[in-house]
């Protein structure tokens, strides 16, 4: 029990350099996907805030001030592009990275997300290992140059 906790703590701090768990915000309207992803992230010791509505997303992000926002593109209320634009336009969120996670993986969507300053772009379906690995890499590389 204690060992497991310590292990998680180590993993969680990995790369953040703050001595506290990484904070993530997951914006995803499909509950089954949100449950799976938050389970995976929590297992890594990361704190996860799940938002299922596009309109509520930006306020949640401002409140949580996460290290990374994992953002779906097609959302009720407000599109992922708009939320991405809001995040990137907010100077208080300068340290927040955005991983866009979408079933729309066309070149056009990637280009548009890149133009809006997205940090990473992943398409659904993804493998759990790949997703966790990408987020870990983003956390480790925070503040460094990322290879979008």
Partner 1 sequence: MRERETGEAPSGREGADPRETGRRIRARRRTLGLDQKALAARIGISPAYLSLIENGRRKAPKALLERLAAALDMAPAQLLGVRTGADWAEVLATLAARHRPADPPRPEIAHAERLVAEYPGWARLVIEQGREIEALEARLAILADRLSGDPYLADTLHALLSSVTAVQASADILARTPELAPAEIERFRFNLSVEARRTADRARALLEHFDRSRLDRPLEATTPREEVMVLLARHDHHFPAIEAAGNASSAAARAAAREVAGALGAELSAEARPLLHAALELLAEDAAALPLSGLAAALEAVGLDPAVLCARLDVAPARLFRRLVALGAKEGDGPMRELGLVAFDRAGVVLWRHQGEGLTLPRLRAACALWPVFRARADEIGHHRLLTDRGTPIEAWTAVEIRRGAEGVARRISWQLVRQIRHDAGHGGGSAAGRQLVVGASCRLCRRASCPERREPAFFAPPVPESASGAPD
- Where do contacts with partner 1 occur on this chain (CB under 8 A)? 30-33, 35-37, 39-40, 43, 74, 103-104, 124-128
Between 120 and 142, CB nearer to partner 1: 120
Between 32 and 94, CB nearer to partner 1: 32
Between 74 and 115, CB nearer to partner 1: 74
> Which residues lie closer than 8 Å to 69 by C-beta, 6 or more apart?
24, 25, 26, 27, 61, 83, 87, 96, 97, 98, 99
Distance CA 7, CA 87 (A): 32
Between 1 and 94, CB nearer to partner 1: 1
> At its nearest, how many Å lie between partner 1 and the CB of residue 124?
4
> At its nearest, how many Å lie between partner 1 and the CB of residue 128?
5
Between 41 and 69, CB nearer to partner 1: 41
């Amino acid at each position: 029990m204690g060992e497991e906790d310590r292990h998680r703590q180590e993993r969680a701090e990995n790369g953040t350099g703050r001595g506290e768990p990484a904070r993530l915000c997951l914006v995803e309207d499909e509950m089954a996907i949100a449950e799976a992803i938050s389970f995976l992230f929590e297992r890594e010791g990361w704190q996860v805030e799940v938002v299922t509505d596009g309109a509520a997303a930006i306020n949640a992000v401002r409140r949580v001030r996460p290290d990374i926002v994992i953002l779906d593109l097609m959302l009720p209320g407000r599109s992922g592009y708009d939320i991405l634009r809001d995040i990137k336009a907010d100077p208080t969120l300068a340290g927040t990275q955005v991983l866009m996670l979408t079933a729309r993986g066309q070149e056009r969507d990637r280009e548009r997300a890149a133009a809006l300053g997205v940090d990473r772009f992943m398409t659904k379906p993804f493998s759990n290992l790949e997703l966790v690995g990408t987020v870990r890499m983003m956390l480790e590389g925070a503040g460094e140059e990322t290879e979008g």
